[in-house]
Amino acid sequence: PKADGTTQVDGWVTIRELNRAQGWSLPDEHATTIAGLVIHESQSIPEAGQIFSYYGFKFEILKRHRHQIIAIRITPPAAMTGQQAA
């Protein structure tokens, strides 16, 4: 995690790996990768710059190539405490 509490990951990183490394509990019933989770929840392939909130986390799409999410910035609930809305 960065100093601001966010974590930047590649889209292919598995949800299980992220949960173990970060102590999170993101669901992995409907998707294996973090990109898959965002695609499942948004029911689309998001564009770079789009931001979604699921399970108390904020997901910002940093990079997309064709039909793949390449990079995502994740803000966990603890990092959002005290942040002001943009």
The pLDDT, as a whole number, for residue 78 is 81
Which residues, given as ranges, of the chain have pLDDT below 70? 1, 80-86
CB atoms within 10 A of CB 25: 10
The pLDDT, as a whole number, for residue 86 is 40
Question: Long-range pairs for 25-28 at CB < 8 Å and ≥24 separation?
Answer: 26/55, 26/57, 27/55
The pLDDT, as a whole number, for residue 5 is 86
pTM of the model: 0.86
Where are the domains positioned within the chain?
7-80
The pLDDT, as a whole number, for residue 3 is 77
d(CA 30, CA 16): 12
The pLDDT, as a whole number, for residue 16 is 98
The pLDDT, as a whole number, for residue 81 is 62
> Which CATH number is correct for 7-80, 3.30.1490.20, 3.30.465.10, 3.40.50.1370, 3.30.360.10?
3.30.465.10
